[in-house]
Amino acid sequence: MIIEETERLIIKEIELNEAKEASGLLSLFPCETEKSYTSEMVEAYIKLAYGFYGYGYWGVYERETNSLVGIAGFREGSFPLEAGYVFREESRNKGYATEALKALVRFAEEEFMWVIEEQEEDEQKGKPLKDIKPESKEQRVYVITKRDKVLLYGRTMADNIQSQRVMLKNGFLEVKGE
């Protein structure tokens, strides 16, 4: 199922026959270096997460070649949503991450603004901005807010300047740690 399309990219659910290729990409997520994803884990994810949550991490495909160039989406299970993305080495520095994240922001604004509206009605729901901060000195956290509520956030390693620029280009603001 296609989630979003851009000028050069198609973001869609990963197919079962792409599980091995996707597992290699997922293992590149810099904030998750302790994890290793097997193709069996990705197959289970494809079968369960998309149907249960209606969102997750999707494949990012180059429109021209239909090749899988990256993974982008949202960590499942909590709000605000945590956006994440990773791209093949040979697909970096082409603006794909900026383009894909822009599409994710658009998707979140269209599909999840109801969460913001619900939070306005019940101040106890949702994660307050003060609770979204770097987990260590090696991390940076960025957020997008709508109506003074956090809609999306993303984490990056402190030395990943390229990813920080991608978030800033897409309207994210840095949350300073204590």
- In the predicted model, is pLDDT for residue 28 greater than 80? no
Q: Tens digits of per-residue pLDDT, 45-99?
A: 888 888 888 888 999 999 999 999 999 999 887 778 899 999 999 999 999 999 9
How many Cα neighbours within 13 Å face the side chain of 7?
7
Q: Output the six-digit token pair for 113.
A: 């603004």
Q: Domain-by-domain residue ranges, the chain?
A: 2-175
- In the predicted model, is pLDDT for residue 105 greater than 90? yes
Residue 120's pLDDT band (boundaries 50, 70, 90)?
Answer: low
Q: What is the pTM of this model?
A: 0.87
> What pLDDT was estimated at residue 122?
59
> What pLDDT was estimated at residue 76?
81
> What pLDDT was estimated at residue 168?
96
User: What are the backbone dihedrals phi and psi of residue 80, each rounded to the nearest 5 degrees, phi first?
Assistant: -70, 160
Q: What is the mean pLDDT of residues 129-155?
A: 83
CATH of 2-175, one of 2.30.30.110, 3.40.630.30, 1.10.1760.20, 3.40.630.40: 3.40.630.30
Share of the chain above pLDDT 90, in %: 45
Three-state SS at 65 = coil
> What pLDDT was estimated at residue 20?
86
Pairwise CA distance, residues 13 & 56, whole Å: 9
Q: Output the six-digit token pair for 90.
A: 């040979």
